[in-house]
Amino acid sequence: MSIDRIAQLKTLHLFGMAAAWNEWQAEYTIQQKPVMPEVWLDRLIAAEQTDRQARRLNYQLKAARFPIHRDLMSFDWAETPLQRAYIEQLANAGFMEQAYNLIMVGGTGTGKTHLATALCVAAIHQGKRVRFYNAVDLVNQLDREKQQGKAGNLAKQLTHLDAVVLDELGYLPFPVSGGALRNSQIWCMPTLNQAAICCCISSVISTSRMTATPS
């Protein structure tokens, strides 16, 4: 009776090994050269590790809920006064490890959301966990929690994150009830969970320049 090793590996959720086994069986059939068991094992383990890293990365990118994927490579540096070297240094996610906040201030279309997303995408590639929020949506969610008698649930969920992005802060008005929650819950999150807050503040005064300041 033949053994379906690929099915067995998939049953064990070893999808990387399953794909590699199928490929290497075909390779072995063509070459017809004996291979030491240790070589097969090392290659299977390496394939599984690579597959799990890729699946973890894809999961974290989806879990972050970015409105659109952005990276530093696609940012137009000619249209910003920010120093490229400084921003690229922030991409190492060191400010997240120290739970420092990053505040970006500028007018509409100056690239705040692009940079915040790009920095957090880079952080996810380094193993960080991030969540993107529109500031008004987050306040409304906190307001619903309070009305349902479940205040604190979201803050508890965010304890597992390395950074939270607050986009469009100051651009859209907060609801009356939500405005009171803004100071009492959002700004205490770094203290509660040691996560950095990457904040994009729209300025009604500056319309063509942006600044990025750690705090």
What CATH number does the domain containing 144 carry? 3.40.50.300
**Can you give the pTM of this predicted structure?**
0.74
3-state helix, strand, coil in the chain (%, to 5): 55, 15, 30
- Spatial distance between the Cα atoms of 122 and 71, rounded to a whole number of angstroms: 7
Give the model confidence (pLDDT) of 24-47 as tens digits. 777 766 666 656 666 777 878 888
Task: Tell whether 85 and 45 lie within a shared domain.
Answer: no
- Report the alpha-carbon angle 46-51-56, nearest 5: 125
Domain range for residue 120? Answer: 72-214
Task: Tell whether 115 and 59 lie within a shared domain.
Answer: no
Q: Of 166, 164, 158, which is closest to residue 193 (Cα–Cα)?
A: 158
- Spatial distance between the Cα atoms of 191 and 155, rounded to a whole number of angstroms: 11
Band of pLDDT at residue 168, cut at 50, 70 and 90: confident
Task: Tell whether 115 and 204 lie within a shared domain.
Answer: yes
More confident residue, 158 or 67: 67
Q: Of 118, 121, 138, which is closest to residue 130 (Cα–Cα)?
A: 121
Task: Tell whether 53 and 76 lie within a shared domain.
Answer: no
